[in-house]
Amino acid sequence: MELADIREDLAEELISEQQLHDKLGELARQIETDYDGRDILLVGVLRGAVMVMADLARSLRRHIEMDWMAVSSYGSGTVSSGVVRILKDLDTDISGRHVLIVEDIIDSGLTLSWLRQNLISRGAATVEICTMLRKPDALKVEVDVKYCGFDIPNKFVIGYGLDYAEKYRNLRGVGVLAPHVYGGEE
Ligand code: XMP
Ligand code: MG
Protein backbone atom coordinates (compact mmCIF):
# COMPACT_ATOMS: atom_id res chain seq x y z
CA MET A 1 0.00 0.00 0.00
CA GLU A 2 1.27 3.45 -0.84
CA LEU A 3 1.72 5.76 2.13
CA ALA A 4 -0.24 8.99 1.71
CA ASP A 5 1.08 12.13 3.40
CA ILE A 6 -1.80 13.97 5.05
CA ARG A 7 -0.14 17.30 4.30
CA GLU A 8 -1.04 16.76 0.66
CA ASP A 9 -4.69 17.29 1.57
CA LEU A 10 -4.05 20.91 2.55
CA ALA A 11 -5.02 23.73 0.18
CA GLU A 12 -2.90 26.12 2.21
CA GLU A 13 -1.12 26.20 5.51
CA LEU A 14 -2.31 29.12 7.62
CA ILE A 15 -0.11 28.67 10.69
CA SER A 16 3.08 26.65 10.87
CA GLU A 17 4.23 24.42 13.71
CA GLN A 18 6.93 26.97 14.54
CA GLN A 19 4.43 29.85 14.71
CA LEU A 20 2.18 27.80 17.02
CA HIS A 21 5.15 26.97 19.23
CA ASP A 22 6.33 30.59 19.43
CA LYS A 23 2.84 31.88 20.20
CA LEU A 24 2.35 29.34 23.00
CA GLY A 25 5.59 30.55 24.53
CA GLU A 26 4.29 34.14 24.52
CA LEU A 27 0.94 33.12 26.02
CA ALA A 28 2.66 31.02 28.68
CA ARG A 29 4.83 33.95 29.81
CA GLN A 30 1.72 36.15 30.05
CA ILE A 31 -0.15 33.49 32.03
CA GLU A 32 2.78 33.02 34.42
CA THR A 33 2.78 36.75 35.13
CA ASP A 34 -1.01 37.10 35.44
CA TYR A 35 -1.41 34.11 37.76
CA ASP A 36 1.58 34.82 39.95
CA GLY A 37 0.79 33.48 43.42
CA ARG A 38 -2.41 31.72 42.37
CA ASP A 39 -2.99 28.04 41.58
CA ILE A 40 -4.21 27.31 38.06
CA LEU A 41 -6.57 24.59 36.95
CA LEU A 42 -6.36 24.17 33.19
CA VAL A 43 -9.63 22.80 31.80
CA GLY A 44 -9.25 21.37 28.31
CA VAL A 45 -12.21 20.91 26.04
CA LEU A 46 -12.08 17.53 24.35
CA ARG A 47 -11.16 16.58 21.81
CA GLY A 48 -9.85 19.52 19.84
CA ALA A 49 -7.89 21.11 22.67
CA VAL A 50 -5.65 18.11 23.30
CA MET A 51 -2.66 19.49 21.38
CA VAL A 52 -2.98 23.05 22.73
CA MET A 53 -3.27 21.69 26.26
CA ALA A 54 -0.23 19.43 25.91
CA ASP A 55 1.94 22.21 24.49
CA LEU A 56 0.65 25.05 26.67
CA ALA A 57 1.03 22.98 29.84
CA ARG A 58 4.64 22.16 28.95
CA SER A 59 5.38 25.77 28.03
CA LEU A 60 4.46 26.84 31.55
CA ARG A 61 7.37 26.73 33.97
CA ARG A 62 5.19 26.55 37.05
CA HIS A 63 2.84 24.03 38.65
CA ILE A 64 -0.59 23.59 37.12
CA GLU A 65 -3.35 21.02 37.33
CA MET A 66 -5.32 19.71 34.38
CA ASP A 67 -8.83 18.44 33.95
CA TRP A 68 -11.01 17.79 30.92
CA MET A 69 -14.55 18.26 29.73
CA ALA A 70 -16.27 17.03 26.62
CA VAL A 71 -19.24 18.98 25.35
CA SER A 72 -21.35 18.85 22.25
CA SER A 73 -23.55 21.52 20.77
CA TYR A 74 -27.01 20.50 19.77
CA GLY A 75 -27.91 21.64 16.31
CA SER A 76 -27.66 20.49 12.76
CA GLY A 77 -24.38 19.79 11.03
CA THR A 78 -21.59 22.25 11.52
CA VAL A 79 -23.76 25.12 12.76
CA SER A 80 -23.52 25.67 16.48
CA SER A 81 -26.86 26.29 18.24
CA GLY A 82 -25.63 27.48 21.61
CA VAL A 83 -27.39 24.66 23.44
CA VAL A 84 -24.65 22.57 24.95
CA ARG A 85 -24.70 19.07 26.39
CA ILE A 86 -21.99 17.78 28.74
CA LEU A 87 -20.64 14.47 27.48
CA LYS A 88 -17.85 14.22 30.04
CA ASP A 89 -17.78 16.37 33.14
CA LEU A 90 -14.87 17.54 35.26
CA ASP A 91 -13.48 15.23 37.92
CA THR A 92 -12.45 18.24 40.00
CA ASP A 93 -14.48 20.36 42.41
CA ILE A 94 -13.76 23.83 41.05
CA SER A 95 -15.27 25.95 43.80
CA GLY A 96 -12.79 28.63 44.76
CA ARG A 97 -10.41 27.57 41.96
CA HIS A 98 -8.79 29.70 39.29
CA VAL A 99 -9.94 28.01 36.11
CA LEU A 100 -8.36 28.62 32.74
CA ILE A 101 -10.36 27.04 29.91
CA VAL A 102 -8.11 25.79 27.12
CA GLU A 103 -9.69 25.66 23.67
CA ASP A 104 -8.58 24.99 20.14
CA ILE A 105 -10.92 27.41 18.38
CA ILE A 106 -13.70 29.89 18.97
CA ASP A 107 -16.11 30.10 16.07
CA SER A 108 -19.55 31.50 16.96
CA GLY A 109 -18.51 31.74 20.60
CA LEU A 110 -21.70 30.01 21.72
CA THR A 111 -20.01 26.94 23.22
CA LEU A 112 -17.48 28.95 25.18
CA SER A 113 -19.90 31.53 26.54
CA TRP A 114 -22.11 28.68 27.77
CA LEU A 115 -19.15 26.85 29.27
CA ARG A 116 -17.81 29.88 31.07
CA GLN A 117 -21.23 30.56 32.65
CA ASN A 118 -21.49 26.92 33.63
CA LEU A 119 -18.12 26.95 35.39
CA ILE A 120 -18.82 30.27 37.12
CA SER A 121 -22.10 28.84 38.44
CA ARG A 122 -20.11 26.07 40.15
CA GLY A 123 -18.38 28.68 42.27
CA ALA A 124 -15.00 28.99 40.55
CA ALA A 125 -13.07 31.99 41.86
CA THR A 126 -12.14 33.06 38.32
CA VAL A 127 -12.80 31.64 34.87
CA GLU A 128 -10.68 32.84 31.95
CA ILE A 129 -10.31 31.55 28.41
CA CYS A 130 -7.24 30.66 26.40
CA THR A 131 -7.85 29.73 22.77
CA MET A 132 -5.31 29.03 20.06
CA LEU A 133 -7.56 30.24 17.25
CA ARG A 134 -10.49 32.58 16.86
CA LYS A 135 -12.64 33.48 13.85
CA PRO A 136 -13.71 37.10 14.49
CA ASP A 137 -16.06 37.13 11.46
CA ALA A 138 -18.02 34.13 12.77
CA LEU A 139 -18.69 35.45 16.28
CA LYS A 140 -22.35 35.50 17.30
CA VAL A 141 -21.87 36.38 20.95
CA GLU A 142 -19.21 38.46 22.62
CA VAL A 143 -16.80 36.25 24.51
CA ASP A 144 -14.19 37.81 26.72
CA VAL A 145 -11.05 35.92 25.73
CA LYS A 146 -8.03 36.73 27.82
CA TYR A 147 -5.51 34.71 25.81
CA CYS A 148 -5.84 34.23 22.06
CA GLY A 149 -3.19 32.81 19.75
CA PHE A 150 -4.34 33.81 16.28
CA ASP A 151 -7.33 35.46 14.66
CA ILE A 152 -8.03 33.61 11.42
CA PRO A 153 -10.38 34.04 8.44
CA ASN A 154 -13.83 32.47 8.55
CA LYS A 155 -12.78 29.23 6.85
CA PHE A 156 -12.99 25.65 8.05
CA VAL A 157 -9.56 24.74 9.33
CA ILE A 158 -7.90 21.48 10.35
CA GLY A 159 -4.80 20.37 12.16
CA TYR A 160 -3.29 20.86 15.61
CA GLY A 161 -6.24 19.07 17.20
CA LEU A 162 -8.90 20.22 14.76
CA ASP A 163 -10.53 17.57 12.63
CA TYR A 164 -12.45 16.92 9.49
CA ALA A 165 -14.50 13.74 10.10
CA GLU A 166 -12.12 12.90 12.99
CA LYS A 167 -9.05 13.03 10.75
CA TYR A 168 -6.19 15.54 10.46
CA ARG A 169 -5.99 16.23 14.20
CA ASN A 170 -2.37 15.05 14.07
CA LEU A 171 -1.23 17.60 11.47
CA ARG A 172 1.44 19.73 13.10
CA GLY A 173 0.32 23.04 11.61
CA VAL A 174 -3.11 24.56 10.96
CA GLY A 175 -4.43 24.72 7.43
CA VAL A 176 -7.37 24.81 5.09
CA LEU A 177 -8.51 21.52 3.62
CA ALA A 178 -8.15 21.09 -0.14
CA PRO A 179 -11.54 20.89 -1.87
CA HIS A 180 -10.70 17.52 -3.49
CA VAL A 181 -10.92 15.93 -0.03
CA TYR A 182 -14.63 16.68 0.39
CA GLY A 183 -15.53 16.55 -3.29
CA GLY A 184 -15.51 20.30 -3.95
CA GLU A 185 -14.01 22.25 -6.86
CA GLU A 186 -10.26 22.88 -6.80
P1 XMP B 1 -18.59 27.68 18.63
O2 XMP B 1 -19.23 27.99 17.29
O3 XMP B 1 -19.63 27.41 19.67
O4 XMP B 1 -17.91 26.28 18.38
O5 XMP B 1 -17.59 28.73 19.01
C6 XMP B 1 -16.60 25.99 18.57
C7 XMP B 1 -16.40 24.55 18.21
O8 XMP B 1 -16.74 24.31 16.84
C9 XMP B 1 -15.80 23.48 16.21
N10 XMP B 1 -15.20 24.24 15.09
C11 XMP B 1 -14.30 23.79 14.21
N12 XMP B 1 -13.69 22.61 14.10
N13 XMP B 1 -12.47 23.40 12.22
C14 XMP B 1 -12.79 22.41 13.10
O15 XMP B 1 -12.21 21.33 12.98
C16 XMP B 1 -13.03 24.62 12.28
O17 XMP B 1 -12.74 25.47 11.44
C18 XMP B 1 -14.00 24.82 13.32
N19 XMP B 1 -14.75 25.88 13.68
C20 XMP B 1 -15.47 25.50 14.76
C21 XMP B 1 -14.80 23.15 17.27
O22 XMP B 1 -15.13 21.89 17.82
C23 XMP B 1 -14.95 24.19 18.34
O24 XMP B 1 -14.66 23.73 19.64
MG1 MG C 1 -13.28 22.24 20.44
Mapping DSSP to helix (H, G, I), strand (E, B) and coil, where does residue 123 land? coil
Report how far apart the first and last C-alpha atoms of the chain are (Å, whole number). Answer: 26
CATH number at residue 100: 3.40.50.2020
| 36 CA → ligand 1 middle, Å | 31
Domain of residue 52 covers 6-25+38-72+93-181
- When divided into structural domains, the chain yields a total of 1
Instruction: Report pLDDT digits (tens) over 19-28.
Output: 999 999 999 9
Q: Is the CB of 113 under 6 A from ligand 1?
A: no
ipTM metric:
0.90
| 37 CA → ligand 1 middle, Å | 33
Tell me, yes or no, whether 83 lies in a domain: no
Which pTM value belongs to this model? Answer: 0.93
Tell me, yes or no, whether 116 lies in a domain: yes
Residues 70-79: contacts with CB within 8 Å, 24+ apart? 70/45, 70/46, 71/45, 71/111, 71/115, 73/110, 73/111, 78/156
Pocket test for ligand 1, best of 135, 162, 181 (most atoms within 8 A of CB): 162
Take atom 21 of ligand 1 and give the residue whose Cα is closest: 105
Instruction: Report pLDDT digits (tens) over 123-174.
Output: 999 999 999 999 999 999 999 999 999 999 999 999 999 999 999 999 999 9
Tell me, yes or no, whether 113 lies in a domain: yes
Atom number of ligand 1 nearest to Cα 106: 5
